[in-house]
């Protein structure tokens, strides 16, 4: 659409797939895990476009991991990944949903799905919040698929030409990437991501050796050159650039899309006055996305938010999630902060929280969220709905209880 709506318009991936084609890809590449992972991903997109929930698919792959004693899907064999894909297919068929087998019919269906998603509840809610007209509609981009999940030496990410917390026109590479995953995993906040540049890693207190700049220097240099062309030669405003690489060689690097970044104006932010709190208990550290220091009660649902708004209207509320999906837009809007276990600063949820002016910390690796039980585990600490935490959207730190706050100059 003419105005970016991060995560609100549907994306259909790996279109043009069926069992026969998947078997052919497995034979041609010699990588059956990759082939069946693609088919699994397509089936999930297909099923969700027809009304099934992400949790339905997550339950299948989680059960497979548990049964096999395998913590990560990348450790499945090709045959094990095939069985997961076929379990997805069976669930879709058992729900009475016909799966189109012809690639061209799939393409037409995918185009219509994207067009229809303009009227989805999440998209309409986002437009209402952001003051965007419902009358404009959306176009559809059809692109050849490229595969960040081909191997451990492939990946996908989002390259910011500038730190979104700083103003200025100089190129300061920032963002997120992940290896062995497709780009939708990164922007949907479904995976733990890695930083783009050394400078970013140092500022965010993350491993420098894990950066794109160090691990894939040729990919990094090429992305930086593309950024220079857009910013310095074409005089564009700071950009967020989505990319995929199928190998460490730049011939296998693909620049998928770009859009204007949202840069915050420099203003005063709050930080914790730790000297006045003698028994400070830092329990987790994630990636600070937006805002400064805040204290609030944790919540897990829209109903809980509205309960606390009625009982304690002045109390700040922090939505806690394992990961966030676009359907969480109402919770993000009505709460004051967002804390997630997975995802990076370029995920749709982080960008939406940033645009809405919320305090946001993502990628807290030791956070386990149990939404149905309205509880979470932060390290060894069990917390329930209504408990107090303090978090810093600038530094990414998270604490138990309520800390004193002071105002500082921020970015």
The 10s digit of each residue's pLDDT in 109-143 is 999 999 999 999 999 999 999 899 999 899 999 99
Q: Which single residue is written with the structure tokens 């076929």?
A: 86
C-alpha span between 382 and 369 (Å, rounded)? 10
**How many CB atoms are closer than 10 A to CB 95?**
12
Strand duo 317-321 + 293-299: pairing: parallel
Tens digits of residue pLDDT in 231-241: 999 999 999 99
Q: State in Å, rounded, how far the first CA of the chain is from the last one.
A: 30
Beta-strand pair 367-370/359-362: unpaired
Q: What pLDDT, in 10s, does the model give residues 289-316? A: 989 899 999 999 999 999 999 999 999 9
Cα(411)–Cα(394) distance, integer angstroms: 8
pLDDT at 61: 95
Average pLDDT, the chain: 91
Determine the pLDDT at residue 411.
47
Q: Which residue has the higher pLDDT, 252 or 365?
A: 252
Among 82-86, 101-105, 394-398, 407-411, name the one with the lowest average pLDDT. 407-411
pLDDT band at 265 (very low <50, low <70, confident <90, very high): low
Determine the pLDDT at residue 100.
97
Q: What is the pLDDT of residue 159?
A: 97
Neighbours of 187 (CB within 10 A): 26
**Residue 92 phi, psi dihedral angles, 5° rounding:** -65, -45
Q: Percentage of the chain with pLDDT > 70?
A: 95
Give residue 158's pLDDT.
95
Residue 34 — pLDDT band, cuts 50, 70, 90? very high
pLDDT score at 283? 73
Residue 221 is encoded by which pair of tokens? 């240099």
pLDDT digits (tens, 9 = 90+) for 378-406: 988 999 999 999 999 988 999 999 888 87
Show the domains of the chain with their CATH numbers.
19-130 (1.20.80.30), 155-260 (3.30.470.20), 268-409 (3.50.30.10)
pLDDT at 268: 64
Of the two residues 86 and 191, the one the predictor is more confident about is 86
pLDDT range class, residue 282, cuts 50, 70, 90:
low
Q: Read off the tokens for 42.
A: 């397509």
Q: Please write the tens of the pLDDT for every residue from 317-334.
A: 999 999 877 778 899 999
């Amino acid at each position: 659409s003419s105005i970016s709506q991060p995560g609100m318009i549907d994306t259909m991936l790996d279109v043009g797939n069926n069992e026969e084609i998947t078997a052919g890809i497995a034979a041609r590449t010699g990588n059956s895990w990759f082939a069946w992972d693609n088919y699994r991903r397509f089936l999930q997109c297909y099923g969700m476009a027809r009304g099934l929930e992400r949790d339905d698919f997550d339950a299948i792959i989680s059960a497979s991991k548990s049964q096999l004693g395998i913590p990560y899907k990348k450790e499945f064999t090709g045959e094990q990944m095939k069985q997961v894909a076929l379990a997805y297919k069976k669930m879709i068929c058992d729900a009475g949903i016909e799966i189109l087998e012809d690639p061209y019919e799939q393409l037409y269906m995918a185009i219509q799905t994207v067009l229809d998603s303009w009227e989805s509840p999440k998209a309409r809610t986002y437009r209402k919040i952001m003051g965007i007209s419902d009358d404009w509609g959306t176009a559809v981009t059809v692109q050849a698929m490229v595969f960040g999940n081909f191997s451990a030496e492939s990946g996908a990410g989002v390259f910011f030409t500038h730190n979104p917390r700083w103003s200025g026109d100089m190129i300061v590479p920032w963002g997120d990437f992940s290896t062995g995953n497709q780009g939708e995993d990164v922007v949907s906040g479904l995976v733990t991501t890695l930083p783009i540049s050394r400078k970013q890693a140092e500022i965010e207190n993350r491993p420098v050796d894990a950066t794109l700049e160090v691990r894939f220097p040729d990919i990094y240099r090429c992305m930086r050159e593309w950024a220079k062309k857009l910013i310095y030669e074409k005089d564009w405003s700071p950009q967020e650039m989505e990319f995929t690489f199928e190998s460490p060689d730049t011939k296998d690097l693909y620049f998928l899309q770009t859009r204007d970044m949202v840069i915050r104006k420099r203003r005063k932010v709050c930080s914790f006055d730790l000297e006045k709190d003698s028994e400070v208990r830092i329990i987790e550290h994630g990636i600070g996305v937006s805002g400064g220091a805040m204290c609030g009660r944790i919540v897990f649902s829209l109903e809980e938010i509205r309960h606390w708004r009625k009982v304690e209207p002045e109390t700040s509320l922090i939505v806690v999630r394992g990961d966030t999906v676009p359907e969480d837009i109402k919770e993000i809007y009505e709460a004051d902060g967002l804390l997630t276990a997975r995802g990076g600063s370029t995920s749709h949820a982080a960008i939406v929280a940033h645009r809405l002016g919320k305090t946001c910390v993502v990628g807290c690796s030791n956070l386990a969220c149990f939404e149905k039980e309205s509880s979470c585990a932060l390290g060894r600490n069990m917390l329930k709905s209504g408990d107090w935490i303090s978090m810093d959207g600038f530094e990414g730190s998270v604490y138990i209880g309520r800390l004193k706050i002071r105002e500082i100059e921020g970015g």
